[in-house]
């Protein structure tokens, strides 16, 4: 089992993601350069946060054309696990691997703070380690996280169970005042219909150690580890994951 963290020019959460997977979860992980079309045999790909290509033109708009995205798209189409975090989510939206788009935050400012998100479906490749309805305290840091899609798409997302995380109050109830960026239907993250590609605005890798205020983000990364372990059918894997 191996994780790949893509490095676009301007990615700045690549090291943090590598640290969470490698140093904390003790998983094999390597960086994949944006010019490379070789995914180095990775079993899961993470597009990290940052400002890929300076976010010029539009967030993720240039990154989607980079050579590595051709391979990531192929990988995703063949069922590979792909997670986009923040800027990585924006790249997935631009690439069409996930539906919808993000607009400028409703408050028109960059927002960096801890938010609360509720796991809407705990039976996916990215949430299987969570309890249904579990509330996770995870930070956000973005200017453009205001998720948007047309009405038909929203209905489809809801019908297919593709809304993976919603912004909620700390006690888990729906509360628009706890939505930090104006996202449609309080959407913080979504999953592809096939269930192997997901993206979210909050940063699970920043919520991986209680020393830094929360380790709730590990639930998402650990779910991916469990999913890959299940695919490999290696029964001993569960013990390798620190509690």
Partner 1 sequence: MIATEIKVTPQVAAEHGLSADEYARVQKILGRDPNITELGIFSLMWSEHCSYKSSKVHLKRLPIKGPQVVQGPGENAGVVDIGGGWVAAFKIESHNHPSFVEPFQGAATGVGGILRDIFTMGARPIAVLDSLRFGPITEGAGATPEEVARNRRILDGVVRGIGFYGNCFGVPTVGGEVAFEPCYSANPLVNALALGVARRDELFFARARGEGNPVIYVGAKTGRDGIHGASLLASAEFTEESQQKRPNVQVGDPFLEKLLLEACLEAMHTGAVVAIQDMGAAGLTCSTCEMASRGATGIEIDLARVPQRETGMSPYEIMLSESQERMLLVAERGREEEVLRVFRKWELDAVVIGRVTSDGILRVLDHGRLAAEIPAHPLAEEGPVYSRPLAAPPRPAREESIVTFAPEGTDLTANLTKLLAAPAIASKRWIVQQYDHMVRTNTVVAPGAGDAALVRVKETGRGLALAVDGNGRWCHLDPRLGAMHAVAEAARNVACVGARPLAATNCLNFGNPEKPEIMWQFSQVIDGLSEACRALGVPITGGNVSFYNETLGRGIYPTPTVGVLGLLDDDSRALHMGFRASGDAILLLEGAGPATATPAASEMRREFSSSEYARTIHSLVAGSPPAMDLAAEKRLMEALAALAAERLLHSAHDLSDGGLAVALAESGFASFFATESLGADVALEGGEPAEWALFGERGARAIVTASQSALAAIRQFAAQYELGLRTLGTVAQGTFRIRFNGRDVVSSPVAALCASWTHSLERALAAR
Binding site for partner 1 (CB under 8 A): 9-10, 12-13, 15-16, 19-20, 23, 49-51, 53-56, 109-113, 139, 141, 170, 203, 205-206, 208-209, 211-213
Q: DSSP secondary structure string, the chain?
A: --EEEEE-TTB-SHHHHHHIIIIIT---EEEEETT----TT-SEEEE-SB-GGGG-SSTTTTGGGSHHHHHHHHHHHTT-EEEEETHHHHHHHHHTSSS-EEE--TTSS-EEEEEEEEES-SSSTTTTTSPTT-EEEEEEEES--EEE--HHHHHHHHHTT-EEEEE--TTS---GGG-SS--GGGEEEEE-TTSSEEEESS-GGGSSBGGGTB-TTHHHHHHHHHHHHHHHT-TTHHHHS--
Q: In angstroms, what is the minimal distance from the CB of 56 to partner 1?
A: 7
Q: In angstroms, what is the minimal distance from the CB of 22 to partner 1?
A: 11
Q: In angstroms, what is the minimal distance from the CB of 109 to partner 1?
A: 6
Residue number with CB closer to partner 1 (114 or 231): 114
Query: Is 205 noted as a catalytic residue in this protein?
Result: yes
Residue number with CB closer to partner 1 (47 or 190): 47
Query: Is 209 noted as a catalytic residue in this protein?
Result: no
Residue number with CB closer to partner 1 (121 or 142): 142
Residue number with CB closer to partner 1 (54 or 230): 54
Q: In angstroms, what is the minimal distance from the CB of 20 to partner 1?
A: 8
Query: Is 113 noted as a catalytic residue in this protein?
Result: no
Per annotation, catalytic residue among 86, 94, 121, 149:
86
* Pairing outcome for strands 163-167 and 111-119: antiparallel
Which residues have a catalytic role annotated? 86, 203, 205
């Amino acid at each position: 089992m191996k994780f790949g963290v893509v490095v676009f020019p301007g990615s700045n959460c690549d090291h943090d993601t590598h640290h969470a997977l490698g140093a904390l979860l003790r998983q094999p992980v390597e960086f994949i350069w944006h010019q490379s079309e070789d995914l180095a045999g990775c079993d899961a790909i993470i597009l990290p946060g940052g400002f890929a290509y300076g976010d010029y033109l539009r967030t993720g708009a240039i990154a989607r054309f980079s050579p590595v995205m051709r391979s990531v798209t192929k990988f995703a189409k063949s069922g590979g696990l792909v997670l986009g975090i923040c800027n990585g989510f924006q790249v997935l939206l631009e690439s069409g691997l996930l539906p919808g788009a993000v607009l400028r935050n409703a408050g028109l400012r960059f927002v960096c703070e801890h938010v609360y998100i509720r796991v809407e479906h705990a039976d996916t490749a990215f949430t299987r380690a969570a309890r249904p309805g579990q509330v996770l305290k995870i930070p956000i840091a973005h200017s453009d996280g205001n998720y948007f899609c047309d009405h038909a798409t929203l209905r489809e997302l809801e019908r297919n169970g593709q809304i993976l995380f919603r912004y909620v109050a700390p006690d888990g109830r729906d509360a628009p005042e706890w939505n930090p960026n104006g996202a449609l239907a309080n959407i913080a993250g979504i999953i592809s219909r096939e269930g192997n590609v997901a993206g979210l605005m909050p940063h699970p890798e920043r919520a991986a150690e209680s020393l830094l205020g929360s380790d709730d983000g590990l639930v998402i990364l650990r779910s991916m580890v469990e999913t890959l372990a299940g695919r490999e059918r290696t029964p001993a894997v569960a013990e390798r994951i620190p509690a």
